Chains A and B, each alone.
Chain A
Amino acid sequence: MSRRSAAAMVRSARTDRMVATVMALIALTGGVTGLLVGTGVFGTAAAERPLVGPIVVGWVAAHRQGALGIAIVAGLLLVWLGLWLVLRSVRPERIPDLVLDPSPAAGLTVTAAALSDAVRTDAETVPGVARARVRLVGDAADPAMRITLWLQQGADLRAVWDELDAGVLGRVREALAAATVIPTAVRIKLDTASRQRVV
């Protein structure tokens, strides 16, 4: 198992987790502070103090234009941050093509669809495999392959495995004459389909 192949298993949620954690900590800090101060944990005097201090209000009143300028900049920053979060969330996972020869004179690129279809068709001929799904993930500089296999009930997992590596993936390496191996993440769904009865 390599880090690159392990990373190809699923679309990374690391940034989503980081964003959610930062937002959570900000919200929790604000909420807990508000509850602690408002319920008088730090004393009645603190609880009765105004939410926005008169010094702040006085400064804003005295520097109206400056405060509005700061509000505009803050608003634009929030818009940029919000749009970045939204676009990240709705953007589909990249599907890179495989660039075998990047030279402008004789460039050779294998499209993701062509490679995925070929590998999927090959994988589905392996005895014991009911269905396969293949996609390229990552980016053009660092592509990887993600394969999902649905195995029939009673399929010999080791045989499927050996055929997958030596057969299916071996043919991919041979066909692409790839100098580097494409990291591959394989998810196996066991025991999903009944064997077809042949009458």
Chain B
Amino acid sequence: MRVLLRLHVLWTGLIVATTGALLAVEACWALARPESGTLLVPWRVRPDRLTGISWSQPLVLVCAAALGTVGILLLVSAGLARRHDVPMTAPAEEITVVTSPHSLARLVGHLVRAQDGVKSASVTANARRVRVRASSTWQSDDQLRPVLLHTVNHLVRDLPLIRQPRVEVVVKAAKDRR
């Protein structure tokens, strides 16, 4: 998202620079050759025709909608362009240590999949929460869930994290066999 944000700023800069250059060039041309047409831009803005365009015209509404959409996209990009690192305790004052949510999820995922009775597992993690979704072919939710909760909590407590995330485990248990 940070890369996307930088791209947004890049294309915005290109549009602004191009618009400015065209405006300056056409204005200079109009000043130098008032009777001739435009130099680069293929249409000429006639002041008397401008007064004939009202706010309610479809083109104006479409442009307004497009502008609003671009504004929303830029705002969302700016809002989401934050790193969601998981801070860890640092060994010294001038050191900052972090890991990524993806890293934490991978570590927990390996551990969970290695447990007896776990057929598959998916893990999502962030600084506040670790959520494990596991499925089992032969163990019930009551059997497997406490084991996984204990194991993951133990792992997470062992990690030097600044804030201990809350661990949630959901088990899709085996169907009852009769």
Q: Are B17 and A57 in contact (CB under 8 A)?
A: no
Residue contact B72 to A2, C-beta cutoff 8 Å = no
Partner of B55, one of A26, A47, A185: A47
Q: Is the CB of A79 within 8 A of B55?
A: no
Which A1-54 residues have a C-beta within 8 angstroms of B? Answer: 1-2, 4-6, 8-10, 13, 16-17, 19-21, 23-35, 37-40, 46-54
Least CB separation from B89: chain A residue: A1
Q: How far is the CB of B104 from chain A (nearest CB, A)?
A: 7
Partner of B19, one of A33, A78, A85, A185: A78
A90 proximal to B (CB < 8 A): yes
CB distance from A185 to the nearest CB of B (A): 5
Which B8-35 residues have C-beta < 8 A from chain A?
A: 8-10, 12-28, 30-31, 34
Which single member of B23, B64, B73, B99 contacts A78 (CB below 8 Å)? B23
Q: A68 and B31: CB pair below 8 A?
A: yes
Does B83 reach chain A (CB closer than 8 Å)?
Answer: yes
Kindly list chain B residues whose C-beta atoms are within 8 Å of the C-beta of A51.
50, 53-55, 60
Q: Is the CB of A20 within 8 A of B74?
A: yes
Interface pair B98/A90, CB less than 8 Å apart: no
A89 contacts B9, CB within 8 Å? Answer: yes
A57 touching B30 by the CB < 8 A rule? no
Secondary structure type dominating chain A contacts: helix
| CB pair B71 A40 closer than 8 Å | no
B27 contacts A75, C-beta separation under 8 Å: yes
A149 to B136, CA, bound (A): 34
Number of interface residues of B (CB under 8 A): 77
> Which chain B residues lie closer than 8 Å to A38 at the CB level?
55-57, 60-61, 64
- A33 to chain B: which residues have CB within 8 Å? 64
Residue in chain B with minimal CB distance to A161 = B91
Instruction: List which B38-93 residues lie within 8 A (CB) of chain A.
Output: 47-48, 50-57, 60-61, 63-75, 77-78, 81, 83, 85, 87-88, 90-93
Q: Is B166 an interface residue (CB 8 A)?
A: no
Q: Collect the chain B residues with CB atoms within 8 Å of residue A105's CB.
A: none
* A interface size (C-beta, 8 A): 86
Residue A128 CB within 8 A of the other chain: no
Encode A64-99 as 1/0 by CB contact (under 8 A) with B: 110011011011111111111110111000000000
Does any Cβ of B come within 8 Å of A101's Cβ?
A: no
Whether A86 lies near B17 (C-beta < 8 A) is yes
Q: Is B97 an interface residue (CB 8 A)?
A: yes
What residue of chain A has the Cβ atom nearest to residue B2's Cβ?
A13
The CA-CA distance from A148 to B36 in the complex, in Å, is: 62
Contact B90 A20 (CB under 8 A): no
* Most chain B C-beta atoms within 10 Å of own C-beta, residue among A46, A76, A162, A190: A190
11 A-B pairs (CB sep. < 8 Å): A1-B96, A13-B6, A31-B66, A38-B57, A47-B56, A75-B25, A80-B20, A161-B91, A161-B97, A190-B104, A191-B110
Instruction: List residues of B whose CB falls within 8 A of some A CB.
Output: 2, 5-10, 12-28, 30-31, 34, 47-48, 50-57, 60-61, 63-75, 77-78, 81, 83, 85, 87-88, 90-100, 103-104, 106-107, 110, 159-160
